[in-house]
Structure 1
Amino acid sequence: MAKSRRLIWCLVILVILASFGAAAGFYLLYQEKAHAESADTFGEHMAQASTGAVEDTAPIYLKLEPFTVNLAEDNAGPRLLYAGLTLKLSDDASLETLEQHRPQVRNQLLLLLSDREAETLVSASGKKALAEDIVATLEDVLGPERPRIHIDDVLFTEFIVQ
């Protein structure tokens, strides 16, 4: 009698394990099918993009001549900053406006850069804060009578503090 009970329990466990195995197999098969369908949808989307159905615009960049400025004096004495900047713009109107007013833009940036201290510029957070200040300064540089300039990002292409 004890042997038959053990055999029954072994059969019950075997049936349960087989059921789990079958369920796992169906799950994996379903996941593979769903993945294949999403890949087909992605392929269709990419085909639309390549035929021009989805409009993709190239980024607009304005490279500025490098700046060399004397920084505000600190404990280490007089310091210099050499910085190359490229502006990433949202639209062509911003590019045209900045091109038309390039001398005024350079002047505002020179004033902004020369007011900084070297210690604040050597860290990544200092550079991020400077980039935010550059965006704010340039968006307001021409006054309220001009169309607003839309700057997405300030890219430092060269940056030396000496």
Structure 2
Amino acid sequence: MARGDNRQAGRRRPIDDEPEEEVVEEQPKSRKKMWIIIISLSTLLLLGGGGAGAYFFVFAEDDPLGLFGGGEAAANEPEPRQPPIYYGMDPAFVNNLSGTGGRRFMQVNVQLMARDPEVIAAVERHEPVIRNDLIMLFSDQTLESVDTTEGKEALRRDSLETVREILGDNDEPDEVEELFFTSFIVQ
């Protein structure tokens, strides 16, 4: 046998009937596709990560998870509000209405609302002064002024301002948030 014949005898034929040269050509094409896919996915991940980073650092105003240190946003957030504390001024206020032809009376139950126990303690300490000034305010009312909803609302606002002034004048915390008329009777 000739040397050339030995080479052919040592070679094995592929199982499928395609020539060897075509199989060799398909491997580089497959590698090219793989590299294109890898580069495309990498680029997509980088762009997505960059976009998310830009959003969190530039556009996000708050940090719900506290990941970025808090900064100004945490300092500007108000403290959680305390539950309201109500204080009833008993007994009810009973006053004569001024300026009426006949005798007219007004009976008012008053409740104060604050969120700080110190404010309620201050109201208790100065209750005689508060009651006095509210009686004077209620005595100045006429039937016409308290006969309408607007008149009652104006009296409520004036009463709240009176309570705040008394506490402030006595160097007490004056954060009484609301004053409510829980009963309002005119006869």
TM-score range, shorter chain: 0.5 to 0.7
Q: For 1:7-86, list aligned pairs within 5 A.
A: 57-65=82-90, 66-74=92-100, 76-86=101-111
Aligned equivalents of 2:158 and 2:143: distance in 1?
16
- Higher RCO structure (Cα 8 Å, ≥6 apart): 1
**Aligned pairs, how many?**
108
Which runs of at least 4 in structure 1 moved beyond 6 Å after TM superposition?
A: none
What's the TM-score once normalised by structure 1's chain length? 0.61
Aligned equivalents of 1:139 and 1:60: distance in 2?
16
Q: Read off the aligned partner of 1:68 and give its amino acid letter.
A: V
2:169 to 138, 144, 152: 144
Q: Read off the aligned partner of 2:103 and give its amino acid letter.
A: P
Partner of 2:45: none
Q: Read off the aligned partner of 2:125 and give its amino acid letter.
A: Q
2:155 to 130, 148, 151: 130
> Once the two structures are superposed, what CA deviation does each residue of 1:5-30 show, in whole Å capped at 9, x if it has no partner?
xxxxxxxxxxxxxxxxxxxxxxxxxx
Does residue 1:157 correspond to 2:179, yes or no? no
Does residue 1:113 correspond to 2:138, yes or no? yes
Deviation at 1:142, TM superposition (A): 4.3
Deviation at 1:152, TM superposition (A): 1.4
Deviation at 1:56, TM superposition (A): 5.9
Partner of 1:47: none
What's the TM-score once normalised by structure 2's chain length? 0.53
- Residues 73 and 79 in structure 1, CA contact (< 8 A), matched pair in contact too: no
Structure 2 alignment gaps of length 5 or more: 1-78
Structure 1 residues 58 and 80: alpha-carbon distance in aligned structure 2, compared to 1, 3 A threshold: same
CA RMSD of aligned residues (A): 1.9
**The residue matched to 1:154 in structure 2 has which SS?**
strand
Deviation at 1:138, TM superposition (A): 0.9
Deviation at 1:71, TM superposition (A): 1.2
